[in-house]
A = this chain, B = another copy of it.
Amino acid sequence: MTIWYGGDYNPEQWPTNIWDEDVRLMNRAGVSLATVGVFSWARLEPRPGKYDFAWLDGVLDLLHAHGVRVDLATATASPPPWLALRHPETLPVTEEGVRMSVGSRQQYCPSSPVYRERARELVRRLVERYADHPALELWHVNNEYGCHISHCYCDVSAAAFRDWLRAKYGRIEELNRVWGTAFWSQRYDSFDEVSPPRAAPTFRNPTQLLDYDRFSNDELLACYRSEVAIIRARSTVPVTTNFMGFFKAVDYWAWAREVDIVSDDTYPDPADPDSPAYAAMVRDLMRSLGDGAPWLLMEQAPGAVNWRRRNAAKSPGQMRAWSFQCVARGADGILFFQWRQSAVGSEKFHSGLVPHGGTDTRVWREVEQLGRELAELSGRTGDAAIVGTRVPSSVAIALDWDSWWAIEQPASPTEVSYVRTLFAWHSALTSLGLTVDFVRADADLSGYRLVVVPAHFTATDSQVRNLAAVAETGTLVVGFGTAITDENLHVRLGGYLGEPLRRALGVWIEEFAPPASPDLSNLGAGAPPELVLDGEVFGGPATGRVWAEYVRVEDAETVATFAEGALSGWPAVTRRGTGAGAGWYVATLPDPGALRRLAERIVRDAGLDLPAPAARGDRVETVRRGGYVFVINHGAHEAEVLLDGTDALTGAPALGLKLAPQGVAVIGVE
């Protein structure tokens, strides 16, 4: 088995004489999989009910003739302009009532029955025509669900939302209870009075907002399901839709159950030195969404993107290094957006495998090299030695979309970035050489020795019980902002955390006291002050950010404290030993160095072995997959490999190997 290699292929942008060069170059680069048709609805159905598949027949036949497999898109992500002209109510509307126009992409209301029916009809015809095509390897449903438009506020959506609420709550009084409409005179007398959370004089009802997040996710998922049902009725080829890493609007836990293989689009900023660590977290999420199964990197850029204000180019070797990161963390395919860089349109400055400058270019040479190396890797390591294997982990971080939606709402104790909080913990653990899974709070956690639960704001009773149980036999680490509310955003009263986390950790929270800077204007406040922390566990000076609070210790050891101000002497970190396990509580976000040292202490306390360093150097990433250790040098200086074994990329002995910046070694260790 080999690692898939290729990318989005949009030949409809080019005259057909280019197509022949395309397949010739694909073969040269080792391309094995091409995603076709993502944005071709208007080409496939140029006017209502008039279909034109001849060109697509040609594309698939051509690819097949050259041995390139096809990931065939359903093309439903961007309706043609004729739909908007004939059915303007299919265009999405913002909170302020602005109806979006045609001329960009993905301009549809997910709840629109007209859009859905036209999409289904297109899918029916595509499936009918291509289900048995010999080039077909994968179905690619729609594209990046929720991108740009995840929530629509139009009247069609409003009606759908009311139906959703009726189904969920049954009686309006139940909605009133759950939403807490007794306050602010929000009581609804019937479902007809309820709206989407449109622009309003001030803070909108938090549970309404959360329900609208859920509803919006459900509506997108219903779109996906309606297409998949048509495919599966006729085809056994696997189905995917491309995810977008940590994408707030879409709850990928729910979606991952419905794809045959997880696939992901990610575009970390090459100018950001944190990007490799952040990307590592994204890869771990993709692996975790599929419950450890291999996944596909569906899209990345070979060079620069074009949608930031300023778009850094990838430096030489960076594309290769980041690609091997994906393989190390469970990917079985490395695909790109897009094959040939567009000459016109909104993405013409988004890099492509075939750049504007042609093949006498750095980018193309790196494309050829990577294709060759990926193909050779399977050969060198043996069949299924890497491809298809799982990446084991005994450490997990809990991830929850409800909590993400809830903790970032306005009218909360303070401004928290949920993903940055996860990232802080993931980075700290990863920098110790550990591989980390993401898990649902209600999953079976018995396989993990250490579970970290940061800012898990909103939790059901059963989630709380499931998390608390970790401390009985393993190590549970709970971060601030956890289990503050139930799934309805009702605060757990009687001391934050609530039973049974209070018992598991031996603490409860009396009051929040987040760091804040003066904010007379309620606008544009500067960064909040840092909090000085005190504790031997930090191994040196330490500061806290984002959050602080009054922690009441009932049955735990205070491991570190706040050191200044009103909180001086109050616990910042506590630990409760349970014999077989332990429960830690962390009431702030320590600075990266302090958090790394705290994490190391927790890991050792949990009895986990830390792997020996695989290399000497700064910003070197180490991951084990199958019998191989991937060593990737993201730093600015040369690194030196410290492992015995053989580099599967070169066949050279690993020990003492020097890795230049962006250098990679894949070391067989078994």
User: Which A residues form the contact surface with B (CB < 8 A)?
Assistant: 10, 12-13, 39-43, 46-47, 75, 77-82, 84-85, 92, 94, 96-107, 147-149, 179-189, 192-208, 269-275, 278, 303-304, 306-313, 315-316, 342-349, 351, 355-358, 361-363, 410-415, 488-491, 493-496, 508-520, 522, 525, 528, 550, 565-566
Shortest 4 CB-CB distances between A and B: which pairs?
A180-B344, A272-B518, A148-B201, A78-B185
A415 close to B309 (CB less than 8 A): yes
CA distance A345 to B176 in the complex (A): 11
How far does the Cβ of A402 sit from chain B's closest Cβ, in whole Å? 15
A518 close to B344 (CB less than 8 A): no
How far does the Cβ of A48 sit from chain B's closest Cβ, in whole Å? 9
A311 close to B347 (CB less than 8 A): no
Q: Which of B204, B311, B344 contacts A104 (CB 8 A)?
A: B204
How far does the Cβ of A52 sit from chain B's closest Cβ, in whole Å? 11
B566 close to A316 (CB less than 8 A): yes
How far does the Cβ of A642 sit from chain B's closest Cβ, in whole Å? 27
Q: Which of B94, B185, B204 contacts A75 (CB 8 A)?
A: B185
How far does the Cβ of A205 sit from chain B's closest Cβ, in whole Å? 5
Residues of B within 8 A of A355 (CB): 510-511
Q: Which of B185, B347, B494 contacts A39 (CB 8 A)?
A: B185
CA distance A413 to B275 in the complex (A): 20
How far does the Cβ of A140 sit from chain B's closest Cβ, in whole Å? 15
A185 close to B514 (CB less than 8 A): no
Given contacts A104-B204, A187-B42, contact A413 B306 (CB under 8 A): yes
Chain B residue nearest to A315 in the complex (CB)? B566
Residues of B within 8 A of A304 (CB): 413, 511-513
B186 close to A103 (CB less than 8 A): yes
CA distance A302 to B589 in the complex (A): 26
How far does the Cβ of A109 sit from chain B's closest Cβ, in whole Å? 11
Given contacts A47-B189, A103-B208, contact A181 B346 (CB under 8 A): no
Given contacts A306-B411, A495-B358, contact A512 B42 (CB under 8 A): no
B200 close to A85 (CB less than 8 A): no
Can you identify 20 A-B contacts, CB atoms within 8 angstroms? A75-B185, A78-B184, A80-B187, A81-B186, A81-B189, A97-B99, A100-B201, A101-B195, A104-B204, A105-B185, A270-B516, A273-B518, A307-B410, A308-B522, A309-B415, A310-B414, A310-B517, A312-B514, A342-B491, A349-B411
Residues of B within 8 A of A207 (CB): 344-345
Given contacts A104-B201, A310-B525, A356-B493, contact A187 B518 (CB under 8 A): no
Chain B residue nearest to A344 in the complex (CB)? B180
B269 close to A520 (CB less than 8 A): yes
Given contacts A81-B186, A181-B42, A345-B184, contact A516 B201 (CB under 8 A): no
How far does the Cβ of A248 sit from chain B's closest Cβ, in whole Å? 12
Given contacts A101-B198, A186-B103, A411-B307, contact A520 B203 (CB under 8 A): no
